[in-house]
Amino acid sequence: MPAKGRAAMMGARMRKDRLDGRGLGALLAITLLLALNQIIVKTANAGLQPVFFAGLRSALAVVFVGGWLVWRGLWVRVRLADLWPGLAIGAIFAAEFMCLFIALDLTLVSRASVIFYSMPVWMGLLGHFFLPGERLNWLRASGLLLAFLGTAVAILSRDTGPGAGSLWGDLCALGGAWGWAGTAFLARKTRLREAGPEAQLFWMVAVSAPILLALSPAFGPLLRDIQPLHWVLLFVQSSVVVAGGFIAWLWLLSVYPTTTVASFSFLSPLFAILLGHAFFDEPLSLPLLVAFVLVAAGIILVNRRARQS
């Protein structure tokens, strides 16, 4: 049997139709890690200009992700035939994290996270129009409306006091959510779907690194009040968060039902709200909590499927 056929059969055997204990534990750990990632980024932004930080992170992640591919014997999945979709997904990945890192520089972790994690809603909208079998029913459309309202509440409600954040920062977080939905869409719609999650991530970091580094001088001095801790956080970002957390998240999407995995993404903004309060004394304002509830409910409903008769 050809290698491609064997790989397809192995993938089919690995695919599960429901979440088990192993998957649940991995999901909880990864959603917590991704929430902690927001804290890491905001802390490191004090020493590294956000776009430069994002570019350095991608550049270092190329080494870690590439090493993982070689170690696992998956390097053959990075194919020249995937160049154009690879360039496209990498460019959108660059825009996603440029927006997110700037957002975390300008607004609260809690606000940025609630808005950024509205991503499954935008992905649901893309799927309705462009992905077979992903059309919205009335239940999922209701979820879309709830999440729209939650995102609007998060953006339009204004905190007061020092460090309360800015409308521009909130809008950048929304741009990051759109970018995240764009990369997820391309990963499913283009031939990159056959390459697998690790190869997709390699294209993302390899293409985004030069784009972000080239753009970074336009956003001000590359170094701020740089401290040794900020370099450590850069290393953690590149190795643990990107090469570890993102690969694990993409693996979960490849093994367990996509809708189930995506539904759990509402936990990350909840963890981020609590961590933002713990680390930066961010207020637990009523409008923000209302926005979180609306977005979380929307994410769950958008990822629901009609019961089979």
pLDDT digits (tens, 9 = 90+) for 237-269: 999 998 888 778 777 877 777 667 766 778 889
Mutual orientation of helices 197-215 and 167-189 as an angle, nearest 10°? Answer: 140
Which amino acid does the sequence have at 236?
A: V
Q: What is the mean pLDDT of the chain?
A: 87
12 has pLDDT over 50? no
Residue boundaries of the structural domains of the chain: 34-302
Cα(198)–Cα(70) distance, rounded to whole angstroms? 11
Supply the pTM of this predicted model: 0.88
Q: What is the pLDDT of residue 106?
A: 94
Cα(75)–Cα(202) distance, rounded to whole angstroms? 10
Q: What is the pLDDT of residue 206?
A: 98
pLDDT band at 165; cut points 50, 70, 90 = low
Q: What is the pLDDT of residue 160?
A: 59
Q: What is the pLDDT of residue 161?
A: 57
